[in-house]
Amino acid sequence: MEQEPLLLKGNEAVAYAAILCGCDGYFGYPITPQSEVLETLAALRPWETTGMVVVQSESEVASVNMLYGGGGCGKKVMTSSSSVGIALMQEGISYMAGAEVPCLIVNVQRGGPGLGTIQPSQADYLQATRGGGNGDYNLIVLAPNSVQEMADFVGLGFDLAFKYRTPVIMLADGVIGQMMEKVVLQPQQPRRTNEEIAKECPWASLGRSKERDINVITSLELQPEKMEERNIMLQKKYRSIEENEVRYELIGSENPDVAIIAFGCSSRISKKVVQIAAEEGIEIVLLRPITLWPFPKDAIRELSTKVKSMLVVENNAGQMFYDVQHAVEGHIPVEHYGRFGGIIPTPQEILDKIKTML
């Protein structure tokens, strides 16, 4: 049955979607611009309906380690935070990557470095796509550009997290988190029972069972040969994710002169650039990576054979820019346009930049 559309903030949509997709637990600490996630859950009281646990933790460090504990039991657990808090979580994220604990982490980015600003930013791209903590690992990184996607990527995030036993990051930003849009939510999914979890996640530490050996969730291995084996296994998994989970969207001209590569809020502004450019007779195509890791490098490489140049638009000093350059391998010029400190560029200033490239 089609659900009635609601008018929600991106952050509120995350909270609704979490309950509806059968999430078992949310653990979070307030930080602007994402506190509405925890506030909405506290108001909706899902522990009285689906049984979903909601805990306001004492810190982001505690939040992420609550995910480690809950995810280690095979439960669907998530947190949300913003840049500064996500930086604090890196230790726990690395542990979860190492111990292969599934979970969902929503980063509604704000500007940095340091305490920075509460205004939107996209400056955590490199942190999210390179792992962020210690050791060799990657996270699946989903970049929503609408309130609808902030809702949809909660369920998708959990599906991917459990399919690959890995933490998944939803890399949103202060624009998408705070703006209100129409959103259609999925119908209520039941939470999995412990018996279902034991069957689907034979690795989960739910309490010993006579049918299996004991389960230990750990990232520790002191024997170098075994630790190398473990790393090779993780890398194999990451290659499989790169092969199967790349997502992107192409918008605009089929015979473009220039391509824009942009994600999140920058892709929304860039979509407008494609429209106003077309009115002036400038043919632009927008490639929007939906997964930032795995990165749609093959699609960008292919696109580089059809355009004269590329512009990477992102609200940072040039981070995805490196991935685009790497994908294009020097075949065409790649330029960057970014604003910082919570400044959101207008479509016109991006178009002006493109005109210098023609």
Partner 1 sequence: MEKSEIINKGTLVYQKPTLMNDTPMHYCPGCSHGVVHKLIAEIIEEMGMEDKAIGISPVGCGVFIYKYIDIDWQEAAHGRAPALATAIKRLLPDRLVFTYQGDGDCAGIGTNETIHSLNRGENITIIYINNAIYGMTGGQMAPTTLLGQKTATCPYGREAQLNGFPLKLTEMVAQLEGTSYVTRQSVHNVAAIRKAKRALRHAFEVSMQGKGSCFVEIVSTCSSGWKLPPEKANKWMEENMFPYYKIGDLKDE
Of residues 55 and 250, the one with the C-beta less far from partner 1: 55
Backbone φ and ψ of 54, nearest 5°:
-130, 120
Q: What is the three-class DSSP state of 286? A: strand
Smallest separation, CB 317 to partner 1 (Å): 31
Q: Is 29 left (phi over 0), alpha (psi -120 to 50) or beta?
A: beta
User: According to the binding rule CB under 8 A, does residue 358 interact with partner 1?
Assistant: no
For the chain, the residue count is 358
Look up residue 20 and give its two tokens: 């509806």
Q: Are strands 284-289 and 248-252 parallel, antiparallel or unpaired?
A: antiparallel
Smallest separation, CB 358 to partner 1 (Å): 52
Q: Count the neighbouring beta carbons within 10 Å of the beta carbon of residue 151.
A: 27
The alpha carbon torsion through 57, 60, 65, 66 (nearest 10 deg) reads 30
Of residues 63 and 316, the one with the C-beta less far from partner 1: 63
Enumerate residues 41-60 that contact partner 1 by CB under 8 A: 53, 55, 57-59
User: According to the binding rule CB under 8 A, does residue 38 interact with partner 1?
Assistant: no
Among 69, 318, 342, 347, binds partner 1 (CB under 8 A): 69
User: According to the binding rule CB under 8 A, does residue 263 interact with partner 1?
Assistant: no
Look up residue 62 and give its two tokens: 């505690």
**Contact (CB, 8 A) for 306 and 313:** no
C-alpha distances out from residue 167 to 56, 158, 207, 220, 269, Å: 20, 9, 22, 18, 29
Q: Count the neighbouring beta carbons within 10 Å of the beta carbon of residue 7.
A: 10
CA distance 223 to 155: 37
Among 49, 188, 194, 240, binds partner 1 (CB under 8 A): 194
Smallest separation, CB 82 to partner 1 (Å): 20
Enumerate residues 123-162 that contact partner 1 by CB under 8 A: none
Work out whether the CA dihedral 257, 263, 266, 268 comes out positive or negative: positive
Smallest separation, CB 278 to partner 1 (Å): 51
Among 22, 30, 32, 61, binds partner 1 (CB under 8 A): 61
Q: Count the neighbouring beta carbons within 10 Å of the beta carbon of residue 203.
A: 15
Taking CB under 8 A as the binding criterion, the range among 6-14, 139-147, 211-219, 307-315 that sits at the site for partner 1 is 211-219
Among 189, 219, 231, 309, binds partner 1 (CB under 8 A): 219
User: According to the binding rule CB under 8 A, does residue 217 interact with partner 1?
Assistant: yes
Taking CB under 8 A as the binding criterion, the range among 155-163, 206-214, 291-299, 312-320 that sits at the site for partner 1 is 206-214
Q: Are strands 334-337 and 309-313 parallel, antiparallel or unpaired?
A: parallel
**Contact (CB, 8 A) for 121 and 112:** yes
Among 10, 28, 85, 92, binds partner 1 (CB under 8 A): 92
User: According to the binding rule CB under 8 A, does residue 211 interact with partner 1?
Assistant: no
User: According to the binding rule CB under 8 A, does residue 122 interact with partner 1?
Assistant: no
Helix (H) or strand (E) holding 110: none
Taking CB under 8 A as the binding criterion, the range among 62-70, 124-132, 223-231, 311-319 that sits at the site for partner 1 is 62-70
Per-residue binding string, partner 1, 306-325, x by CB under 8 A, is: --------------------
Q: Count the neighbouring beta carbons within 10 Å of the beta carbon of residue 240.
A: 13
Of residues 215 and 253, the one with the C-beta less far from partner 1: 215
CA distance 127 to 231: 20
Q: Count the neighbouring beta carbons within 10 Å of the beta carbon of residue 249.
A: 15
User: According to the binding rule CB under 8 A, does residue 80 interact with partner 1?
Assistant: no
Among 3, 188, 218, 275, binds partner 1 (CB under 8 A): 218
User: According to the binding rule CB under 8 A, does residue 27 interact with partner 1?
Assistant: yes
Of residues 7 and 220, the one with the C-beta less far from partner 1: 220
User: According to the binding rule CB under 8 A, does residue 66 interact with partner 1?
Assistant: yes
Residues that bind partner 1 (CB under 8 A): 24-25, 27, 53, 55, 57-59, 61-63, 65-70, 72-73, 75, 77, 91-92, 95, 99, 194, 205-210, 214-220
